[in-house]
Amino acid sequence: MERDPGDIIDRGSIAKLKSERISVMEEWEAFSVEIEILEENYPELPIKNLFDLIYKINAMIWDLEADMRQGKLDGALSEVGRRAIAIREHNNLRVQVKNIINSLTKQGFQDIKKAHISET
C-alpha cells in the first residue's frame, strides 16, 4: 500500500468509526474489509496510543458534523460557525498526529498548514 503511515492510521480510525456508527449491513461489511486491509499495513512500531488519539479526534469531528449533515442546524448560523471553527481546530490536531506518526516511522511527508494568509 503506497500511503504515508499517518494516512493509513487516519483512514483506519475513520473506517472503525464508520463500522461502529453506520448500521447498513452491506456498508459495514465494506468497512470491515477496509479496516482489515489497513491494519495489515500499520507501521511496525508502538502506535496504539496514537491510533486511539486520532480515533478520538475523528470521533469529535464526526459528532460536530453530524447535525450539520442531517440539516438540523439549518438557520442556526452562529452554531454552524462555532462548529466549523471547532472542526478546523480538531483537523489541525489530526494533522499534527499524522505528522508525528510519519516522523516516528521516518516515512511519508510532513503536512504543513498555514492558518490564514494574513499570517505570512
Locate the domains of the chain by residue range: 5-113
**Residues 116, 25: contact at Cβ < 8 Å?**
no
**Side chain identity at residue 52, one-letter code:** D
pTM score of the predicted model? 0.75
pLDDT, one tens digit per residue, over 4-47 is 888 888 988 898 888 888 776 556 566 666 667 666 666 555 57
CA distance 97 to 88: 14
pLDDT for res 44? 58
pLDDT at 118: 47
What is the Cβ-side half-sphere exposure of residue 101, based on CA atoms within 13 angstroms? 28
Q: Please, what's the b/e burial string for 16-50 (b: 16 or more CB within 10 A of its CB; e: otherwise)? A: bbbbeeeeeeeeeeebeebbeebeeebbeeebeeb
Residues 6+ apart with CB under 8 A from 101: 4, 5, 6, 9, 43, 47, 50
* pLDDT tens track for 62-88: 999 887 777 777 777 888 888 889 999
